[in-house]
Structure 1
Amino acid sequence: MRKAMWAAAAAGVVLLVAGCGSEGGTDKGGSASGGSSSAGSSATGGSGAGGSSDEKLDAAAVTKELTDAATGAGFTQDSSGEAVPAEAKECMVSWTADAEKAADPAKSYSGTVATLTSGGWSEERSSGAGGSVIKSLTKSSWKLQASNHSAGPLKLVMFVAVDSSAECAAVLAESNAKPQGS
């Protein structure tokens, strides 16, 4: 069941990146890709963390930022939530918190988002219903969906980031087209 939840969340991020998620809410800024084709360097990445929002981030830098922010806010990672296909590892990052072990998952979620925004991530949208909160953040060409569904009986807090560059959009579309078992 947990993998089905992850797949649904990841599909939501992919749809958001593809441009299907901009109905209503506060959408501040539009596309960050604007002709940039420096995604070929995503494996080497340069300095990675901390600088301006215009620098090219790679998956390792995004993973480090997410890990540092989430663990600093009181989460431990639930590695059973990791199911990014091998071919998409440079274009997608998934970080699932073990919300059952967090003292206060809502506070840790808010702390993680606050640390990310103070580190250069911009909040683009926020929505909530039935105790769940989903925030969309951007930095460089990366789109991050931070989801907190810890208010009900299922304690699920996830951070899924996708590189919206043209190169990664093609990789993700190809990965999504493959049958589930491959």
Structure 2
Amino acid sequence: MRNVKWVAAAAGVVLLVAGCGSEGGSDKGGSASVTGGTGASGSGGGKLDAAAVTKEIEAAATGAGFAQDSSGDDIAPELKDCMITWTADAEKAADPVKSYGGTITALTGGGWKELRSNEMNGSVIKSLEKSGWTLQASNHAQGPLKMVMFVAADSGPECAAKIAADNEKARQSS
């Protein structure tokens, strides 16, 4: 249960960043509707779905030297079309900092646009966007706790409402 609440909070951060990330008032992400598993690949301006986003993150991360942490975070069933998480097993990576950088390079090479980057106390969090999705790529691999996580959320209004409702439900149960 702890993991689910953390993911919901992370999704809230993703949405907060997505809301502040528009450049020049234009929406470069295209349609904000949820495709609900259509398998859209995002090529040719199409809308990505959760499966396509997962596939892109997994390909970039594993290609850069990460393995997925099998104990990753569960997403509530009602949010499966709206957000994904992919947690790297940073302990097993030869060089988690290099693998994180390689993952970001692969994602940006695949059409993800970096919106901003924040670094504090050895941790790096980058915000990227593509096709109506906002991705928070977090690298906390410096120091004793090694954690690298990718949390993506569909930034459309339908998913924003679902995530906000889930966050409120989690807050009330705390």
Q: TM-score range by the shorter chain?
A: 0.7 to 0.9
Rounded to whole Å, the distance in 1 between the matches of 2:70 and 2:91 is 13
For residues 15-54 of structure 1, the C-alpha deviation after alignment (integer angstroms, 9 at most, x for no partner) is 323x2x55xxxx7565637783542x332133x15x24x3
RMSD in angstroms over aligned alpha carbons?
Answer: 2.5
- Structure 1 residues 161, 128: CA separation in 2 closer, same or farther (over 3 Å shift)? same
CA contact (8 A) 2:14 2:135 kept: yes
Indicate which of 35, 38, 42 corresponds to 1:44.
38
* Structure 2 CA distance for partners of 1:131 and 1:108, relative to 1, 3 Å: same
Q: Do the aligned partners of 2:126 and 2:137 also contact (CA within 8 Å) in 1?
A: yes
* 2:166 equivalent to 1:171: no
Whether the 8 Å contact between 1:76 and 1:102 is mirrored in structure 2 is: yes
- % identical aligned pairs: 60
Aligned length in residues: 171
Runs (4+) of structure 1 exceeding 6 A deviation are: none
* Equivalent-residue separation in structure 2 for 1:115 and 1:103 (angstroms): 18
Letter in 1 for 2:15: V
1: CA distance, partners of 2:66 / 2:149:
11
Which consecutive residues of structure 1, in runs of 5 or more, have no partner in the other structure? none
| Long gaps (5+) in structure 2 | none
Measured at CA, do residues 70 and 30 of structure 1 come closer, stay the same or move farther in structure 2, by a change above 3 Å?
A: farther
Matched, 1:162 2:153: yes
Larger relative contact order (C-alpha < 8 A, sep ≥ 6)?
2
Q: Does 1:14 align with 2:8?
A: no
Confirm or deny: 8 A CA contact 1:45 1:56 kept in the other structure.
no
| TM-score of the superposed pair, with normalisation by structure 1 | 0.82
Alignment pair present for 1:32 and 2:27: yes
Instruction: Map 1:17-166 onto structure 2 (within 5 A).
Output: 17=18, 19=19, 28=23, 32=27, 36-39=31-34, 41-46=35-40, 48=41, 51-52=43-44, 54-166=45-157
Shift of 1:118: 0.2
